Amino acid sequence: MPPTLEAVLLPLLYSRLGEVAPGIDLVILPFERRSYSRDLLQGIIDFVLSVGGDYGTESGITHDLLYSDTLTSVVGPSSPLHGLPLLDIELWLDQPHIYSVPWPLQDNYLDQWLARNKRPRRIAVSLSHYGAIPHLLQCTRLVATLPGRLASVLTATWPELRMLPLPAEVASGQVFLEFAQNFADQPALAATREFIVDVVGNELRTQPHMRSAATT
């Protein structure tokens, strides 16, 4: 599971898991930007929760679409963007940005879009995780651009932070549950897959993740 999904999905999954199957333990492995087909086919891991998915690269791997998400920017009270109703891309590009994705900048689809349009942003702080983001945003002009669901979690916990729609027409990301077909009929894995699809898909497909730009 990528770190972008952990804060969104783990509380949801584990709280419900405790109700229906309290004897099951979860082991979340670090996520890399690579294919997990072989690990799934060999039974090394049971499921991959991914944005975009690598399904189709090897036969025997299939997937369920859980939900779609869009990028949004998050700023703190020290940012000049904090009180704005909407973002202008020039002003957004003028700000120092946080890059908190555990793979190279050139593999990130927002920065690929900016590069194609010859509008690179300045990455002032690079991280491999999300834990420090709200602390950095609280006291700096930094801008974090995050999946909308994760941004909602952060702003609900840190109400002084503000979500603003991204001033760029970047495609939505789709979150998939990937698994190996040869293990799909095993009762425990079939039940777990049904549980994940039901909890995540039904909960997040119907919940809005962007608060109004006028809300602080």
Range 3-68+172-205 classified under CATH 3.40.640.10:
no
Q: One fold for both 3-68+172-205 and 71-165?
A: yes
| Closest C-alpha among 48, 28, 21, 19 to residue 191 | 21
215 in Cβ contact with 78 (< 8 Å):
no
Element holding 153 (H helix, E strand): helix 148-157
Residue type at 114?
Answer: L
Paired tokens of 191: 């039940």
Top CATH class of 71-165 equals: alpha beta
As a whole number of angstroms, the distance between CA 120 and CA 136 comes to 22
pLDDT of residue 214: 32
pLDDT of residue 86: 87
- What are the domain boundaries of the chain? 3-68+172-205, 71-165
Burial of 108 (0-12, 13-18, 19+ CB in 10 A): middle
Element holding 198 (H helix, E strand): none
Q: Which residues contact 187 (CB under 8 A, 6 or more apart)?
A: none
Q: For every one of its 216 residues, what pLDDT tens digit does the chain have, with 9 covering 90 and above?
A: 888 888 899 999 999 988 888 888 889 988 877 788 889 999 999 999 988 766 555 788 988 999 989 999 999 999 999 999 888 899 999 999 999 887 788 878 889 889 999 999 999 999 878 889 999 999 999 999 999 999 999 999 999 999 999 888 877 788 999 999 989 889 989 999 999 999 987 777 655 554 433 332
193 in Cβ contact with 172 (< 8 Å):
no
51 - beta bridge partners? 175
pLDDT of residue 204: 76
pLDDT of residue 4: 82
As a whole number of angstroms, the distance between CA 20 and CA 176 comes to 23
pTM of structure: 0.82
Compute, in degrees rounded to 10, the torsion defined by CA atoms 56, 57, 58, 61.
Answer: -40
pLDDT of residue 187: 92
Task: State the number of CA atoms in the 13 A half-sphere of 63 facing the CB.
Answer: 22
